[in-house]
Amino acid sequence: MPMDLAKFQELVARAVEDRADLLADPALNPEYKPLAALIDNLLRENQALRHDHRIAVNYIRDKINQMLEVIGTSPLKPEELDEKNLIGLDPLGIISQSFTQILEHSNLINRNLRLARDETRAIFASVGGGLLVMDNDRNILAANNHFREMFSPGADEIVGKRCYEIICGNENQPRESCCFKRMMASGRLASLPDWRFGDKHFSIVATPIRDSLGDIVKCVVLYIDITELIQIRLALDEERERLSTTLESIADGVIAIDNRGSITLMNNAAAEITGWSRAEAVDQPICSVFKVADQGDSRYHGDLLDEIIANNKSKVERLDNTLLLNRQGKWRDIYLSAAPIHQYDRSHAGTIFVFRDITREKRLDEELAKANRLDSLGIFAGGIAHDFNNLLTGILGNVSLARLKTDPDEKNRLLNETEKSTFRAKGLTQQLLTFAKGGMPVKKSVLIGELIKESVEFTLRGSGVSCDLKIADDLLPVEADEDQISQVIQNLVLNSRQAMSDQGGVIELTAGNVEIAADQEPLLAPGRYVKISITDRGSGIPKKIIDQIFDPFFTTKESGSGLGLATSYSIIRKHHGNITVESKRGKGTTFYLYLPAAREKPAAAPKTGTGVTGGSGRILIMDDEELVRKVTGSMLEHSGYDVELADAGAEAIEKYRKAAREGRPFAVVLMDLTIPNGMGGKEAVAALLAIDPAARVIAASGYSNDPVMADYRSYGFRQVIAKPYKIGELNEVVAEVIGAED
């Protein structure tokens, strides 16, 4: 049965799918044979094309895998890229792009390599020493300019030569001390700290360069010129030797310590003074060897050393107030100074102590000072004896004459002269007390203008010198002891008068108010002051002695004692004031006094007279001197008082108790402050006030250095009176205390 069209189409479809041969089918309708033949040819051509496609696909896959291997990637697996997607790729584009990336990467690596090469060349050229690169046969491969300047300046090219031809100056073999030889023998870096080449010194370091197998194939050798360092070291050694010789030749002890306080250096003198040998002392703590203390406290303590070591910025000096306890347990007087040791960067590296045993010198100085004091005391005693003898001559002479006179007026005149001489003696003793670091001022508010006038008139009386007084009308009162300030004015005016040789002339004295600001005058506190200026037109004071004029016993006068200005200075300083001087040779001298202004106005001055004003009441007098007790008692009895006497504090207290029990109490007790080997007034008044808080007690003393005289109320006294005193002064003080309200 002939094959219909549907059957033929089915055969053709199967043939296309299975690639079967259509001509093999005998049932093929003849009319379809031309078409079948055409289809068969097409199938055969298609089969050939398929074969070529497989070859192309395999080729592309192989080339892609080769490319991946070149760029370091694993080959493609079939499941990672099928034929359809593979055919859609642009292999040439991929290869081109990959090779572009490879080339860019290669160029980057080359640029980095060139940069590294340039950096290496720059380092090679600029390194501070000479650099030499050699192979393991000592052939020079490269050398920098520093190397050429060191070993072959102006020579031909040295690359290709052996190192010992250039460095050792030998064409056959290197020196025995060859650093390269040491490196090759040890297989590691080798060094030569000091290698001599001509008059130069070098430090050499040879460093091996190895290949991937670890074999040494090259070597880099560095040469550092240390000639200057060697010269400095030699100079330092010479300086150290000189220092060592110097330290051993001086008499001063020298000890150096580090920051830990351990001894690093000690000379022979230090060993001798401390009693420690250098071998024993080095590395010991400083406080174990160098035991020092303040002279005021001979017990050893480490605070002094700690204070000196802590002060690491400046030199410390402790002159003659330091003691050293040596190893034998003996105290030595030393002069000590210390200074910090600084490094180049000014950091603290330690401390150096320099000290000298001045025990013998100090003993000699003390003996000399004793001798000088005795000499000064002789001058002082001579001047005082002279003045006292003059006063005693006047007193004894007037008393002797008074005995012979029968005329009452003449007797009174002589007694008045005796009284004046006595009070001049009182002023002299006051001067002695002031100079002897006593004489504490009994201060009160004083109008000083009148005091200045009286002092000047008294001092210039009978001389050819006058005074031009300029005292401000609004002059402030001062807080002062009238007697002491009067003494100062008299001393200064007398000094000016003597500078003008008593031959005439005018002393200028001005007094006015001034305000002293903070830091204006170093010795004065800020506040209001009265300034007194005393100017003469004498020859002036030489510059070389002007700083000594306030020193005790210093005088340029043959008959002078050197006490006037020293006493004046002491008085003014105790008043919290100051005294200064200015002088020009041939022009004259000016003294300036500053006294603090008083905060309160002066109290009204008591009425003065002969002092024979009467009174009434019982008075207890306590004094250790029988003569003083009797004279004081007689004065008060003459004035109408009932008097009882006691020679010490205990007796006075017992008599005060007894009088109170008997109903005959004392109105006033007059107590001497100083009772040798007994209870004085300061102790007795406290006990007396414990018995009777209303007791009225007056302090009396021949010493004004006792603080009671300056601040008597704080100790319980109602008033004070200084010995010697006149009957009028005594009566005024007693009457004031009796009449005062509680």
Average pLDDT of 38-61? 67
Superfamily of domain 127-230: PAS domain (3.30.450.20)
pLDDT bracket for residue 568 (50, 70, 90) = confident
Task: Quote the pLDDT of residue 261.
Answer: 86
Parts of the chain belonging to CATH 3.40.50.2300: 618-739
Please name every residue paired with 471 in a beta bridge, in sequence order, or none if there are none: 511
Termini Cα distance of the chain: 175
For the segment 69-94, what is each residue's pLDDT rounded down to a tens digit?
A: 665 666 666 666 666 666 665 555 55
For the segment 251-296, what is each residue's pLDDT rounded down to a tens digit?
A: 889 999 988 889 998 998 999 999 999 889 999 998 888 888 876 6
Q: Which of 140-149, 431-440, 566-575 has the lowest mean pLDDT?
A: 431-440
Parts of the chain belonging to CATH 3.30.450.20: 127-230, 250-357
Parts of the chain belonging to CATH 3.30.565.10: 365-596
Highest CATH level, class, for 618-739: alpha beta
Task: Quote the pLDDT of residue 697.
Answer: 93
Average pLDDT of 624-640? 84
Instruction: Name every residue whose Cβ is closer than 8 Å to that of residue 213 and which is 6 or more positions away in sequence.
Output: none
CA distance 495 to 479: 25
Average pLDDT of 466-477? 91
Q: CATH assignment of 250-357?
A: 3.30.450.20
pLDDT bracket for residue 475 (50, 70, 90) = very high
Task: Quote the pLDDT of residue 607.
Answer: 47
For the segment 379-399, what is each residue's pLDDT rounded down to a tens digit?
A: 555 556 656 666 666 676 677
Give the residue among 552, 580, 563 at the shortest CA–CA distance from 430.
563
Task: Quote the pLDDT of residue 144.
Answer: 84
For the segment 214-228, what is each residue's pLDDT rounded down to a tens digit?
A: 888 888 888 888 888
DSSP 651: H
When the pLDDT of each residue in the chain is averaged and rounded to a whole number, the result is 78
pLDDT beyond 90 at 670: yes
For the segment 410-465, what is each residue's pLDDT rounded down to a tens digit?
A: 878 877 877 777 777 776 676 666 555 445 677 788 889 989 998 888 888 777 88
DSSP 75: P
Task: Quote the pLDDT of residue 552.
Answer: 60
Task: Given CATH 3.30.565.10, say whether it is the number of domain 365-596.
Answer: yes
Task: Quote the pLDDT of residue 276.
Answer: 92
Average pLDDT of 518-545? 85
DSSP β-ladder status, 253-258 and 263-266: antiparallel
Angle at 237 between CA 233 and CA 238, to 5 degrees: 120
69 three-class SS? helix
pTM of the model: 0.41
Task: Quote the pLDDT of residue 175.
Answer: 65
pLDDT beyond 80 at 738: yes
| Tokens encoding 585 | 């040779």
pLDDT beyond 70 at 633: yes
Residue with the larger pLDDT of the pair 391 and 589: 589
CA distance 677 to 683: 13
pLDDT bracket for residue 530 (50, 70, 90) = very high
pLDDT bracket for residue 24 (50, 70, 90) = low
Identity of the residue numbered 196: R
Percent of the chain with pLDDT over 70: 71
pLDDT beyond 90 at 371: no
Q: Which of 203-212, 470-479, 542-551, 727-736 has the lowest mean pLDDT?
A: 542-551
CA distance 478 to 597: 4
Q: Are 448 and 488 in contact (CB under 8 A)?
A: no
| Tokens encoding 169 | 């100056």
Ranked by mean pLDDT, the top range of 464-468, 617-621, 729-733 is 617-621
| Tokens encoding 10 | 């089915």
Average pLDDT of 225-242? 86
CA distance 300 to 323: 9
Task: Quote the pLDDT of residue 174.
Answer: 66
